[in-house]
Chains A and B, each alone.
Chain A
Amino acid sequence: MKTNRRILSWVALLACGALFGEVGAQRAAQAATTASAGALVQQAERELATHPGQAVLDYERAQLLAPRAPEVREGLARARAAAGLPAQSAGLASRIARTLSPDEWSRVALGALALAALAIVGRPWWRRWALPWAGAALSVALVAGAVAWQSAPRRNDAVVVGASPVARIAPFAAAQPAFVAPEGSAATIEAEHQGYTRIRQGRGVGWVPNSAVAPVIPRS
């Protein structure tokens, strides 16, 4: 038993070291990816009349930080309406997922995973309850992790912030138009080349100027 404790202590020590090292390395890189929901809402309200696409982006970001705030939800609907986009209809699963932010779901998953690990480590002492407890915690971790993974925006998820730019089939101004990307609509960034960004939407794939599209998660 003493040997077990020593092995686990060494593993935990190494894991903590790696974790803190990683967090420290990330902290500086994430300075540009931080914001407050309040500031984002103010910014969105200022942009709503003139740049509804930017307002949609700000509200999308604010919703990542304050998913339960009705002001953010209503503001996003107003911004989408101002951009001429149809109203979003949220199903039951979507409403449940929005009770917590993707970050909160992630932390719930990690906490549940920690409880599951604790139950497995403590199995010699809690023989009766260890496995049921570990199973329940692991289930919670898997569900919360799946919701977080699904609801968290990807690094290449973006919003069209330009005034309904024309997406072209090649990255230069004289290229043939492919489709018009509505302002405020969601897009996926696929590549960048000489001032143009290749985006994918339901309408197809096309190149728009870099300034016409912005990622939901700002680049650090």
Chain B
Amino acid sequence: MKKSSDSRIWTALVVAAGVLAVSSTTFAATPAGATGRSRAPARAALRMQLQTDARSLVVGQAVPVTVRADFLGGTGVTLNGVPRLVSDGFTLAGISDKPRQTEIRRDGLPYTELTWTGVLTAIQAGAPPPAIELPVQLSYREAVSPPAAAPGADADSDSDADAESNPFQSMFAGTPFASDPFFAQMMKGESDPFSHFFQDFGGAIRQRDVTLRDQLARLSVVATPHPAPDGYAGAVGTFHATSSLSPAPFRVGEPMTLTVRVEGQGSFDRLATAGVPSTSGLSTYPPTAAFTAGARPTAGTKVFKQTLVPRQAGSLDIPAVTLVTYDPQRHRYVTQRTRLLAVTVGAAADVAPEAASAVPPANPVAPAAPSTDGRWAGESAVKSLVPAIRQPWFWWAAAALVSVAVLASVLSSAAVRRRAARTFGRLDRRRLVARTRHRLDAAVASGDAPALFGAAREGLQACLSKAWSMPAEAISAVDVDRRLGDRGQRVRDIFERAEACAYGRSGSPRSADLQHWRDLTVRELDALKEAA
């Protein structure tokens, strides 16, 4: 079967070396230009590139990697995920969900390029080069193509295929046109003068789920030299470590913080240290680590913090922290040691120096406070976590203060002050009358006439002094006569009787008389209390 020489193929094509899977069918692909068919424009392509010239990695080595996906202009693309690594010997980290998008031209055709960056880490020696996949959904208008036979297909199958693709062929069979060479050529699509016209305008919309795939051509993984030195945790790269201590002063039982700062480039996630070991003079906690990424993908800073608690006063040497890594450029292990730190530890705040050096704390790994200086001394005190403003007493106190202020403002008014004075005066007189009545009753009960008249006179004097604003002792029967006139006759009688009793000029009255005088006094007190 003779095939057309200018046929176009618009199904998924690949320009880079790799494997393209279309709807669960996988086709081997070769780079553009390798064959006549692959010169057709590629609709989608995926490439993975290492940002290094290395062709061999050691286990644990991390290298930045770039993944690019190119899509021909006019192709609708829906990403069904992010690029995923297909390999048991590598891990891919740091791939972002949103790729960088740029417009490029290749072979004169517009392409949209999506770019992801990440970090590829080798984890298994001898692993084959990793492959990467990107699931996408492509939407495009498929150009009309003349029937093309698969390579190696026989003539019968070609005829069947032609009949299926051209329904009009059977319609002309058995007619005089069937033997016409022009029609026969046209039915087979050969040298059809209109074929390109229909190819450009008659294509159908196609939508396919495609998994783009690419594999690195040459990348081997070798193991680090054996045996590895003690303390090697698998970190590969170039690192520089420095250490520092929290500010002095240091005291027994109070923690200090040792900070080890490691800067460089490499697999920071495998970078670890055991920190400073415990000694007789020093208790230690396991170090904690925090990583801060740098400008480049594998660069950054990792900070280890370790809490140390001195157990003895005096000079103390903080041992160096050891960090073991593998340098892929020099192809050997590197052991770094931070500088030894010499400090002076003072006695505990509440323990004499001799006692501090002689007696280690009962629980050396549970210090009393995490302080490294005097500022923290007060922070070991137990306090309430509930702020005052969230506690009822705060609002009670605030309400009391506001009430006092408001009350003071109101009382500054003269009218209110006068009214309040009258009210308090009345209250005072009532209290006085009650007290006097109590004394009168006691005197009647005991038959003590001097006490009865004495209490009666004092009560009446006190009541009148409130009303007349003069000292109670200065009020006499003469004053009562002058101020009250006839209305004060009974009060005057009580005053005179009291005088007589006081100076012994009166005989002992009978108890009935005492009761009479008691009632009389109470009536006068009540009258004065209300009148005043």
Q: Which A residues fall within an 8 A CB radius of B?
A: 3-4, 6-8, 11-12, 15-16, 18-19, 22-23, 26, 30, 33-39, 41-42, 45-46, 48-49, 61, 64-66, 69, 71, 78, 81-82, 101-103, 105-107, 109-110, 113-114, 116-117, 120-121, 123-124, 134, 145, 148-149, 152-155, 216-218
The list of the 6 closest CB pairs from A to B, nearest first, reads A15-B400, A106-B388, A38-B369, A102-B387, A106-B389, A152-B387
Q: Chain B CB within 10 Å — which of A30, A45, A69, A152 has the most?
A: A45
A8–B392 Cα distance when bound, in Å, is 23
A172–B157 Cα distance when bound, in Å, is 63
A12–B255 Cα distance when bound, in Å, is 47
- CB–CB B288/A155 < 8 A: no
Known: A3-B424, A71-B370. A33 touches B384 (CB 8 A): yes
- CB–CB B408/A45 < 8 A: no
Query: Given B288, B367, B421, which contacts A78 in the complex, CB threshold below 8 Å?
Result: B288
- CB–CB A18/B389 < 8 A: no
- What are 28 of the A-B contact pairs (CB < 8 Å)? A4-B420, A7-B411, A8-B407, A12-B400, A15-B397, A18-B396, A30-B386, A36-B379, A37-B379, A38-B369, A48-B288, A49-B288, A69-B376, A71-B257, A81-B290, A101-B387, A102-B387, A103-B388, A105-B387, A107-B388, A113-B402, A116-B401, A121-B404, A121-B408, A145-B389, A148-B387, A216-B385, A218-B385
A119–B383 Cα distance when bound, in Å, is 32
- Residues in A neighbouring B398, C-beta threshold 8 A: 109-110, 113
Which residues of B (366-400) have their CB < 8 Å from a CB of A? 366-372, 375-376, 379-394, 396-398, 400
- Residues in A neighbouring B383, C-beta threshold 8 A: 34-37, 65, 103
A64–B387 Cα distance when bound, in Å, is 8
In the complex, whether B277 has a CB less than 8 A from a CB of chain A is no
- CB–CB A102/B376 < 8 A: no
A70–B417 Cα distance when bound, in Å, is 56
A12–B389 Cα distance when bound, in Å, is 21
- CB–CB A36/B396 < 8 A: no
Chain B residue nearest to A220 (CB atoms) is B386
- Residues in B neighbouring A124, C-beta threshold 8 A: 412
- CB–CB B379/A102 < 8 A: no
Query: Given A3, A23, A117, which contacts B417 in the complex, CB threshold below 8 Å?
Result: A3
Q: DSSP class of A's interface residues: helix, strand, loop or mixed? A: helix
Query: Given A4, A34, A113, which contacts B401 in the complex, CB threshold below 8 Å?
Result: A113
A218–B256 Cα distance when bound, in Å, is 29
- Distance of B326 from chain A, by nearest CB (Å): 25
- Residues in A neighbouring B385, C-beta threshold 8 A: 33-35, 61, 64-65, 216-218
A163–B54 Cα distance when bound, in Å, is 40
A30–B382 Cα distance when bound, in Å, is 12
- CB–CB B390/A37 < 8 A: no
- CB–CB A82/B376 < 8 A: no
In the complex, whether B307 has a CB less than 8 A from a CB of chain A is yes
In the complex, whether B80 has a CB less than 8 A from a CB of chain A is no
A117–B402 Cα distance when bound, in Å, is 7
A23–B400 Cα distance when bound, in Å, is 14
A46–B394 Cα distance when bound, in Å, is 35
Query: Given A49, A69, A105, which contacts B286 in the complex, CB threshold below 8 Å?
Result: A49
- Residues in A neighbouring B290, C-beta threshold 8 A: 78, 81-82
- Residues in B neighbouring A114, C-beta threshold 8 A: 401
- Distance of B43 from chain A, by nearest CB (Å): 38
A78–B259 Cα distance when bound, in Å, is 13
In the complex, whether B305 has a CB less than 8 A from a CB of chain A is yes
Known: A38-B369, A42-B367, A45-B288. 18 other contacts (CB 8 A): A3-B424, A8-B407, A18-B400, A23-B393, A33-B386, A39-B380, A45-B370, A49-B288, A69-B379, A82-B290, A102-B390, A105-B387, A107-B388, A110-B398, A121-B405, A121-B408, A134-B405, A217-B385
Query: Given A34, A41, A152, which contacts B390 in the complex, CB threshold below 8 Å?
Result: A152
Query: Given B389, B391, B400, B412, which contacts A26 in the complex, CB threshold below 8 Å?
Result: B391
Known: A33-B384, A34-B383, A48-B288. A22 touches B404 (CB 8 A): no
Chain B residue nearest to A66 (CB atoms) is B379
Q: Chain B CB within 10 Å — which of A78, A121, A123 has the most?
A: A121
Q: Chain A CB within 10 Å — which of B366, B381, B409, B411 has the most?
A: B411
Which residues of B (411-426) have their CB < 8 Å from a CB of A? 411-412, 417, 420-421, 424
- Residues in B neighbouring A8, C-beta threshold 8 A: 404, 407-408, 411
- Distance of A44 from chain B, by nearest CB (Å): 9
A42–B392 Cα distance when bound, in Å, is 31
- Residues in A neighbouring B387, C-beta threshold 8 A: 64, 101-103, 105-106, 148, 152-153
- Residues in B neighbouring A154, C-beta threshold 8 A: 390
Q: 1/0 per residue B487-513: CB within 8 Å of A?
A: 000000000000000000000000000
A102–B388 Cα distance when bound, in Å, is 8
- CB–CB B388/A26 < 8 A: no
A71–B424 Cα distance when bound, in Å, is 61
In the complex, whether B333 has a CB less than 8 A from a CB of chain A is no
In the complex, whether B10 has a CB less than 8 A from a CB of chain A is no
Q: 1/0 per residue B266-287: CB within 8 Å of A?
A: 0000000000000000000110
- CB–CB A116/B405 < 8 A: yes
Q: Chain A CB within 10 Å — which of B383, B388, B389, B402 has the most?
A: B389
- Residues in B neighbouring A81, C-beta threshold 8 A: 290
A169–B388 Cα distance when bound, in Å, is 36
- CB–CB A22/B396 < 8 A: yes
- Residues in A neighbouring B380, C-beta threshold 8 A: 36-39
Chain B residue nearest to A1 (CB atoms) is B417
Chain A residue nearest to B423 (CB atoms) is A3
- Distance of B394 from chain A, by nearest CB (Å): 6
- Residues in A neighbouring B257, C-beta threshold 8 A: 71
Query: Given A38, A110, A117, which contacts B368 in the complex, CB threshold below 8 Å?
Result: A38
A220–B208 Cα distance when bound, in Å, is 62
- Residues in A neighbouring B375, C-beta threshold 8 A: 69
Q: Chain B CB within 10 Å — which of A3, A19, A33 has the most?
A: A3
In the complex, whether B207 has a CB less than 8 A from a CB of chain A is no
In the complex, whether B403 has a CB less than 8 A from a CB of chain A is yes
